[in-house]
Structure 1
């Protein structure tokens, strides 16, 4: 599987990333999913301290024992949570970030995290304080590089201007093209990579797309009505000419040079197979434009 440099760091991640949030709490099943992903050439796993209130990090850590050298591991911080009460609050403070990484390292059973992200962020945060915390962790060798998980253009711009982030994680798919309008080119110009989550739009862009539209798109999705989702599905199938819809969805977002990796979730080995069996090919400009002509160039409004 192709690997791409993450920003200007020394990290090279596979063009597909296994998002671990959907693994569940069955350790044996989760290990099977992770093993299948690694065997398929994926080297990048994405977790967060908040997922299952720390349990996800423990499961991922156990699954990669003896395989640490094969894995680029990402985790996230910023949600100060109480596992017993199962609640949390937003906390991007330096103290929480510096304490959070130690807790994550303990749960993961490792000495350092390859890529560490702030799990959100608003323009009202003490951004300078958060940046200082990440820079300190990098100097201490507890993390190798850092970034933010955010879809807020104004927040992203602040971090680009004030920090040394190497990547931004954001939602991006054929149905959610918001990053195309004002973020992707900007990040590419600043040598900052994108980790694109939700590339299959809740499965509505997968090989089982029509079934998932029936389940999850009845009330619409973003600016699309249910009828529009059905029509787009039919038009995409025509464009794709019987090939894997998963592949089309993944190759679409990987076409932009800012995108280093497409992050998909999996709750079964078969879902890993559906995605990793894709043929990595650059879409032709004609196909790319056709897809854009039948989908919407939605803009960020609420999330600024």
Structure 2
């Protein structure tokens, strides 16, 4: 992926939802201003902070000049996903969209690499780009890299695991319109839901093995990034199957009840999964056999997911 592949004038709408983010917000905003692809507009919304986050973004808006930052109304706390959906629906048609977390630092070529990755922004086929992250601590000292993902599995594997980290995601205009028109379940996250919608619609999924973000790991992370398969497995075992399978069911139900049309094969796969979940182990075993693509990133993770699918 090279910057030279980015030729056309393509405005990027950067979406930033702030909530009690004053501690790290200035460094993130400075990294937006330092992007090599300078054709961007920041759409931001404060989700009910009381720590001065909104004032920090307002100061940044004055520094970068008129028209570069657009505040989206609403100061009531609605949560991460709902706040990002408000932002996404405020973006005019035709924009590439990039999600931004309030506590990270973008590397200078993040937007340029993302634009090169998704290709022709005028394509009518939805496309989602995501990338690797360099994990850092509170003081931006290196911890290590996130696991390398060289390709994103297509639907229905996205139901089993989210591999698209939100702070790296870019959506082409078709994907942005698709996700904006959708109805996510209340307990999902905006990045997983975007990955699900674009994959379920038969869109193009692009994974960049190069890190584009300093992904800050600290005690207030909404999600964070476990550094190894073993640690992810330990955390998954500690959480247990209940919360995962509850969200799995909600994702299946929400995808079956979307206002946007999905391909016939996607709907058939969803109906088969939903029917299996309403019946016992034999029906679930049959569904797993027929849906061989319902897997996670590694073999041990897939085995754990399948056990939970059979029991939950």
The two structures share one fold, judged by TM-score above 0.5: no
TM-score, normalising length: structure 1: 0.29
TM-score, normalising length: structure 2: 0.29
